[in-house]
Amino acid sequence: MAPDPMRPDLVDLSTQELGILGIDHVGIAVADLDEAIAFHVDVLGMTLLHRETNTEQLVDEAMLAVGDSVIQLLAPTSEDSPIAKFLAKSGQGLQQLAYRVRDVEATSRALRERGLTLLYPESRKGTGGTKINFIHPKSAHGVLVELVEHPAD
Ligand code: CMX
């Protein structure tokens, strides 16, 4: 990224220096998790990697492998779930783009310093023992961006 002459206070950080390692997964909001898993496995030939309920995020979710990539299916467990709100407003579809990061607190801090709105003051529990935070879609060209730190990274 070229230095911004209007913001000499900002250091010229690359995605590597921000600790953004690559795309972790793409998340799809679905109404019925079993039906969506069956479609992705039986029709599209993907492999079911993992399934869990996240009581903090109020979602039933599944991770599926497609080649070297992963998609996440998300169904609401209650009317208060962000996924329930998304389904009510937009219907089923792409809900989030998730980047794998080395250190979610460090990346969140660096992005806040650059004026972005992060949803949580501290990271929360994500899929499979990960730590997560989100960039609000209004700060990221209309995309809900999840930052995911894996325990092994
Ligand atoms: N992608 C893009 N835009 C979105 C969006 C999404 N997923 N969800 C909401 N928006 C837009 C709305 O359409 C709305 O836009 P307009 O003002 O132009 O109509 C705007 O964002 C509204 O934002 P808001 O009033 O602040 O909040 P909402 O009640 O719509 O909630 C959000 C949005 C992102 C704060 C909420 O969905 C949230 O907290 N998400 C993070 C948690 C989450 O998604 N958990 C489930 C997944 C868990 C996991 O991945 O493990």
3-state secondary structure 46-70: CEEEEEEEECCCCEEEEEEEECCEE
83 lines ligand 1 (CB under 6 A): yes
99 lines ligand 1 (CB under 6 A): no
Q: Which is it for strands 59-66 and 69-76: parallel, antiparallel or unpaired?
A: antiparallel
Render pLDDT for 38-84 as a digit per residue (tens, 0 to 9). Answer: 999 999 999 999 999 999 999 999 999 999 999 999 999 999 999 99
- The pLDDT assigned to 17 comes to 83
Q: Is 44 left (phi over 0), alpha (psi -120 to 50) or beta?
A: alpha
CA atoms within 13 A on the CB side of 8: 0
Render pLDDT for 85-138 as a digit per residue (tens, 0 to 9). Answer: 999 999 999 999 999 999 999 999 999 999 999 999 999 999 999 999 999 999
Ligand 1 centroid to 141 CA: how many Å?
A: 13
Ligand 1 centroid to 91 CA: how many Å?
A: 13
Render pLDDT for 9-40 as a digit per residue (tens, 0 to 9). Answer: 666 677 778 999 999 999 999 999 999 999 99
Ligand 1 centroid to 40 CA: how many Å?
A: 24
Global pTM reads 0.93
Tokens of 6: 């209007």
